[in-house]
Amino acid sequence: MYSGNYGNAHPIDTLLEAAFYLREEKSILFVFVGGGTQYSKVEYYRKERHCTNIIQLPYQPKEYIHISLASADFHVVVLNKDTVGFTHPNKIYGAMYVSRPIIFIGPEKSYAGKILIDNPGNISFREGQSIKLAEVISQLNTDLEFFVDVGKKNRDYVQKHFNSKKLKEKMIDIITYC
Protein backbone atom coordinates (compact mmCIF):
# COMPACT_ATOMS: atom_id res chain seq x y z
CA MET A 1 0.00 0.00 0.00
CA TYR A 2 1.06 3.50 -0.78
CA SER A 3 -1.02 5.86 1.32
CA GLY A 4 -1.06 9.64 1.11
CA ASN A 5 -0.01 12.19 -1.44
CA TYR A 6 1.74 11.03 -4.56
CA GLY A 7 2.93 14.23 -6.08
CA ASN A 8 5.95 15.17 -8.14
CA ALA A 9 8.25 14.88 -5.11
CA HIS A 10 7.19 11.25 -4.54
CA PRO A 11 9.07 8.81 -6.80
CA ILE A 12 6.48 6.10 -7.47
CA ASP A 13 7.77 4.90 -10.87
CA THR A 14 9.73 2.02 -9.33
CA LEU A 15 6.62 0.83 -7.49
CA LEU A 16 4.46 1.12 -10.60
CA GLU A 17 6.96 -0.84 -12.68
CA ALA A 18 7.02 -3.56 -9.98
CA ALA A 19 3.22 -3.70 -10.22
CA PHE A 20 3.56 -4.08 -13.99
CA TYR A 21 5.99 -6.99 -13.62
CA LEU A 22 3.65 -8.69 -11.12
CA ARG A 23 0.39 -7.97 -12.98
CA GLU A 24 -0.28 -11.69 -13.54
CA GLU A 25 0.12 -12.58 -9.83
CA LYS A 26 -3.48 -12.77 -8.63
CA SER A 27 -2.50 -12.85 -4.94
CA ILE A 28 -0.60 -9.54 -5.02
CA LEU A 29 -2.36 -6.16 -5.08
CA PHE A 30 -0.87 -2.67 -5.13
CA VAL A 31 -3.20 -0.26 -3.35
CA PHE A 32 -2.78 3.50 -3.74
CA VAL A 33 -4.75 5.48 -1.19
CA GLY A 34 -4.86 9.23 -1.71
CA GLY A 35 -3.99 11.28 -4.74
CA GLY A 36 -1.83 14.01 -6.14
CA THR A 37 -0.24 15.13 -9.36
CA GLN A 38 0.78 11.56 -10.23
CA TYR A 39 -2.74 10.17 -9.86
CA SER A 40 -3.07 9.97 -13.64
CA LYS A 41 0.21 8.02 -13.88
CA VAL A 42 -1.18 5.38 -11.50
CA GLU A 43 -4.41 5.35 -13.49
CA TYR A 44 -2.40 4.92 -16.72
CA TYR A 45 -0.70 1.78 -15.35
CA ARG A 46 -4.02 0.44 -14.14
CA LYS A 47 -5.93 1.04 -17.37
CA GLU A 48 -3.50 1.32 -20.29
CA ARG A 49 -0.83 -1.10 -19.09
CA HIS A 50 -3.53 -3.51 -17.87
CA CYS A 51 -2.33 -3.68 -14.28
CA THR A 52 -5.51 -5.07 -12.78
CA ASN A 53 -3.43 -5.61 -9.63
CA ILE A 54 -3.55 -1.84 -8.94
CA ILE A 55 -6.39 -0.40 -6.88
CA GLN A 56 -6.86 3.34 -6.37
CA LEU A 57 -8.80 4.64 -3.39
CA PRO A 58 -9.45 8.25 -2.37
CA TYR A 59 -7.87 9.97 0.63
CA GLN A 60 -9.22 8.52 3.86
CA PRO A 61 -10.62 10.67 6.68
CA LYS A 62 -8.01 11.24 9.36
CA GLU A 63 -10.11 9.55 12.04
CA TYR A 64 -10.08 6.31 9.98
CA ILE A 65 -6.51 6.35 8.71
CA HIS A 66 -5.44 3.72 11.25
CA ILE A 67 -7.87 1.28 9.62
CA SER A 68 -6.45 2.01 6.19
CA LEU A 69 -2.86 1.69 7.40
CA ALA A 70 -3.56 -1.58 9.21
CA SER A 71 -5.08 -3.20 6.11
CA ALA A 72 -1.81 -3.61 4.17
CA ASP A 73 0.86 -6.28 4.39
CA PHE A 74 3.58 -3.77 3.41
CA HIS A 75 3.63 -0.01 3.44
CA VAL A 76 5.58 1.79 0.80
CA VAL A 77 7.51 4.87 1.83
CA VAL A 78 9.23 6.90 -0.87
CA LEU A 79 11.73 9.72 -0.77
CA ASN A 80 13.08 11.66 -3.71
CA LYS A 81 16.89 11.80 -3.57
CA ASP A 82 16.77 15.53 -4.34
CA THR A 83 14.65 16.29 -1.27
CA VAL A 84 16.78 14.58 1.39
CA GLY A 85 17.32 17.10 4.18
CA PHE A 86 14.32 19.18 3.10
CA THR A 87 11.54 16.70 3.74
CA HIS A 88 10.94 13.44 5.56
CA PRO A 89 8.24 10.84 4.83
CA ASN A 90 6.44 10.86 8.17
CA LYS A 91 4.10 8.07 7.07
CA ILE A 92 6.87 5.69 8.15
CA TYR A 93 5.87 6.21 11.80
CA GLY A 94 2.18 5.41 11.32
CA ALA A 95 2.95 2.30 9.29
CA MET A 96 5.47 1.08 11.86
CA TYR A 97 3.05 1.88 14.69
CA VAL A 98 0.36 -0.38 13.18
CA SER A 99 2.96 -3.19 13.02
CA ARG A 100 3.58 -3.27 9.28
CA PRO A 101 6.83 -3.92 7.43
CA ILE A 102 8.12 -1.07 5.28
CA ILE A 103 9.24 -1.05 1.67
CA PHE A 104 11.38 2.06 1.32
CA ILE A 105 12.22 3.44 -2.10
CA GLY A 106 14.78 6.18 -1.72
CA PRO A 107 18.32 7.00 -0.68
CA GLU A 108 19.92 4.95 2.07
CA LYS A 109 21.61 8.13 3.31
CA SER A 110 18.48 9.74 4.68
CA TYR A 111 16.74 9.76 8.04
CA ALA A 112 14.15 7.27 6.77
CA GLY A 113 16.98 5.07 5.50
CA LYS A 114 18.63 5.21 8.93
CA ILE A 115 15.41 4.20 10.69
CA LEU A 116 15.19 1.13 8.47
CA ILE A 117 18.86 0.25 8.94
CA ASP A 118 18.10 0.26 12.67
CA ASN A 119 15.17 -2.09 11.98
CA PRO A 120 16.27 -5.17 10.02
CA GLY A 121 13.61 -6.92 7.99
CA ASN A 122 12.25 -3.79 6.39
CA ILE A 123 13.26 -3.58 2.76
CA SER A 124 15.03 -0.74 0.99
CA PHE A 125 15.42 -0.10 -2.72
CA ARG A 126 16.81 2.69 -4.82
CA GLU A 127 14.82 4.31 -7.60
CA GLY A 128 14.91 2.12 -10.72
CA GLN A 129 15.18 -1.22 -8.89
CA SER A 130 11.68 -2.30 -9.90
CA ILE A 131 12.60 -5.84 -11.01
CA LYS A 132 14.39 -6.51 -7.73
CA LEU A 133 11.43 -5.03 -5.82
CA ALA A 134 8.99 -7.26 -7.72
CA GLU A 135 11.13 -10.34 -6.98
CA VAL A 136 11.24 -9.61 -3.25
CA ILE A 137 7.50 -8.93 -3.06
CA SER A 138 6.84 -12.19 -4.87
CA GLN A 139 9.15 -14.13 -2.53
CA LEU A 140 7.66 -12.66 0.66
CA ASN A 141 4.06 -12.79 -0.54
CA THR A 142 3.04 -15.74 1.63
CA ASP A 143 5.54 -15.46 4.51
CA LEU A 144 3.15 -14.63 7.35
CA GLU A 145 5.86 -15.18 9.96
CA PHE A 146 7.96 -12.48 8.29
CA PHE A 147 5.11 -9.95 8.34
CA VAL A 148 4.29 -10.59 11.98
CA ASP A 149 7.93 -10.58 13.15
CA VAL A 150 9.01 -7.42 11.33
CA GLY A 151 5.74 -5.68 12.15
CA LYS A 152 6.13 -6.37 15.86
CA LYS A 153 9.72 -5.09 15.83
CA ASN A 154 8.60 -1.95 14.01
CA ARG A 155 5.89 -1.22 16.57
CA ASP A 156 8.29 -1.84 19.47
CA TYR A 157 10.83 0.53 17.90
CA VAL A 158 8.30 3.33 17.41
CA GLN A 159 6.94 2.93 20.93
CA LYS A 160 10.46 3.03 22.37
CA HIS A 161 11.92 5.90 20.36
CA PHE A 162 8.98 8.04 19.31
CA ASN A 163 6.53 7.94 22.20
CA SER A 164 5.15 11.27 23.41
CA LYS A 165 7.31 11.35 26.57
CA LYS A 166 10.55 10.85 24.60
CA LEU A 167 9.56 13.40 21.99
CA LYS A 168 8.70 16.00 24.65
CA GLU A 169 12.08 15.42 26.31
CA LYS A 170 13.87 15.88 22.98
CA MET A 171 11.91 19.06 22.28
CA ILE A 172 12.77 20.49 25.72
CA ASP A 173 16.46 19.64 25.13
CA ILE A 174 16.40 21.44 21.78
CA ILE A 175 14.63 24.52 23.19
CA THR A 176 16.87 24.79 26.24
CA TYR A 177 20.00 24.30 24.11
CA CYS A 178 19.06 27.24 21.91
- Percent share of the chain, pLDDT over 70: 99
Mean pLDDT of all residues in 133-142: 92
CATH number of the domain at 2-177, out of 3.40.50.2000, 3.40.1350.10, 3.90.420.10, 3.40.309.10? 3.40.50.2000
Distance CA 141, CA 48 (A): 25
pLDDT confidence band for 178 (50 / 70 / 90): low
